[in-house]
Structure 1
Amino acid sequence: MAPTTTNSRENLLDAALHASRSKGNTATAVDDLSRRGQGGTKGAFFHHFKTKEKAAVEAAGHFSAMAAGRFSTVPNHELLSSSRSP
């Protein structure tokens, strides 16, 4: 999955998502994320994230927000949301 945005932070988050799905966070190096994040550098990575683990947590939130946006356009989404309310 190639990054599709021009925002370096989002590119790094997309790279972290891809890496965690393909080989796991433990086996992924910051160098991997930097390269995959559209030619970024380690410096750019650490500008946006304090650690690789913090990037992984933010990548999960990034995915959640993306999925929520996509699923909100599904027909009958309102019915699904209201059926979960107590």
Structure 2
Amino acid sequence: MLEEFDDLISRLCANSPITQEEHRDRLFFTDDGLIFDSLWERNGYFTFGRSERPSFGGGHLWTRNPTIAQYQLVVVLGSYIRRLNSWDP
């Protein structure tokens, strides 16, 4: 079900050191290998989480709306891009 985000993820992560990994139907993103953001879908909910390792714990945002999930994905990956380029918030 997360395939609908492939184009957005590809555009945001192009030419950047953001690493994307998939484990047990979850996508994990990191730019430094220390903090991982994750996205997964379960029971019709898109869920986002953040941890110090690729963790399978709970998330901090749950939504059934794919537009809100896309927006959160832009926020998460955009913050990596901003930080990597030393841009002001």
TM-score under structure 2 length normalisation: 0.35
Task: Give the number of the structure whose alpha-carbon radius of gyration is greater.
Answer: 1
Larger strand fraction of residues: 2
TM-score under structure 1 length normalisation: 0.36
